[in-house]
Amino acid sequence: MRNSRIAGVGHYVPDRVVTNKDLEKLMDTSDEWIRERTGIVERRYFQEGVDTTSNMGAEASRRALAMAGVEAKDVDMIVFATLSPDYIFPGSGVLMQRELGLKEIPALDVRNQCSGFIYALSVADQFIKTGMYNTVLVVGAEIHSSGLDFSTRGRGVSVIFGDGAGAVVLTPSESNDKGILSTHLHADGELAEELAVTAPNSNKKDRLTHEMIDDGSIYPYMNGNLVFKHAVTRFPEVIEEALQKNGYKPSDIDLLVPHQANLRITSYIQQKMGLPTEKVMSNIHKYGNTTAASVPIALSEAYEEGRVKEGDLVCLAAFGSGFTWASALIRW
């Protein structure tokens, strides 16, 4: 089977910058408190009437296509990862397809939250490996800010998240020594409700009630300590799994691009894997946690900064709601 490779990468973030100081005006929090617990200094929020999940994905895709030297008309498939679609249905993939002027190609939405982009990348990789498609757009895009609790009750979660989009163009690799070497996907639903938005839901006769609004179940809930405990276990495991599958060790990694969940988690992973700072991509201080968009945004920025070069061994890794976790090892 042939390998797939990332031929282009791009990202888009909204213009509106929201600092920790801005959030101090909305809830009982402080810049120091947020920085100490998350490493976040600012994040981007969408502008109503300007940004949507699908059109942010489309803009990131245009930039990725430009880098790849590929025209939109040559795209064979879209795989779109998001937990914040434009509508309940249809999915954002078809809306982005319309935005890009593409006709009748398949568009698949992936709902795996923080691991969503790597899950989507793995799905796209299989279609190229089998020869079914030659050019696949893989997108992660999120608008969190319209669904957060900006009261003091919600501060533990609301200060973390931001909006944005990232995309890659996958095409066949000219060599099986390059491109996506392997992907590794895992899930365990035992603790699904420990990081979740449980309302509105289809298990109630009335999908949305005043009670759901009043008790805050329409907003994200996170058992922070539990999530942290599992994240710092699963991240190193899935990175090691990818390395061992391909006969590498941590010191062989040229750049690790982890999901930007929390700076403390990233720092722990860096220490656990024995990697120097320059080999670990971190931009959470600028964008917060953008869930499915965080890995492609970070990868795109790393490429722009010259931190990803031909021949480099790049590892992508993520952990999040579900719980789900995943990795991809790439020879650039």
> Is 176 part of the annotated catalytic residue set?
no
Residues 12 and 145 in one domain: yes
Q: Are 141 and 92 in contact (CB under 8 A)?
A: yes
- Catalytic member of 20, 55, 262, 289: 289
pLDDT at 70: 97
**Distance, C-alpha 81 to centroid of its chain:** 8
Tokens describing residue 118: 């790597």
Query: Has residue 116 got a pLDDT over 90?
Result: yes
pLDDT at 168: 98
Query: Has residue 1 got a pLDDT over 90?
Result: no
pLDDT digits (tens, 9 = 90+) for 5-56: 999 999 999 999 999 999 999 999 999 999 999 999 999 999 999 999 999 9
Q: CA 265, 162, 318: angle at the middle one, nearest 5? A: 35
Full domain range(s) for residue 185: 179-281+289-331
pLDDT digits (tens, 9 = 90+) for 220-236: 999 999 999 999 999 99
Hey, what amino acid is at 290? T
Residues 186 and 168 in one domain: no
- Catalytic member of 11, 144, 184, 259: 259
Q: How many domains does the chain have?
A: 2
Q: Are 115 and 109 in contact (CB under 8 A)?
A: no
What is the radius of gyration, based on Cα positions, of the chain?
A: 19
- Catalytic member of 114, 144, 230, 315: 114
Which residue, of 151, 172, 193, is where some domain finishes? 172
pLDDT digits (tens, 9 = 90+) for 124-182: 999 999 999 999 999 999 999 999 999 999 999 999 999 999 999 999 998 989 999 99
Query: Has residue 288 got a pLDDT over 90?
Result: yes
> Is 144 part of the annotated catalytic residue set?
no
CB-based contacts of 244-249 (< 8 A; 24+ apart in sequence): 245/181, 245/182, 245/184, 245/329, 246/181, 246/182, 246/329, 248/313, 248/329
Torsion of CA 154, 50, 139, 145, to 10 degrees: 0
pLDDT digits (tens, 9 = 90+) for 236-278: 999 999 999 999 999 999 999 999 999 999 999 999 999 999 9
> Is 289 part of the annotated catalytic residue set?
yes
The phi-psi region of residue 327 (left if phi > 0; otherwise alpha if psi is between -120 and 50; otherwise beta) is beta
**CATH code where residue 243 lies:** 3.40.47.10
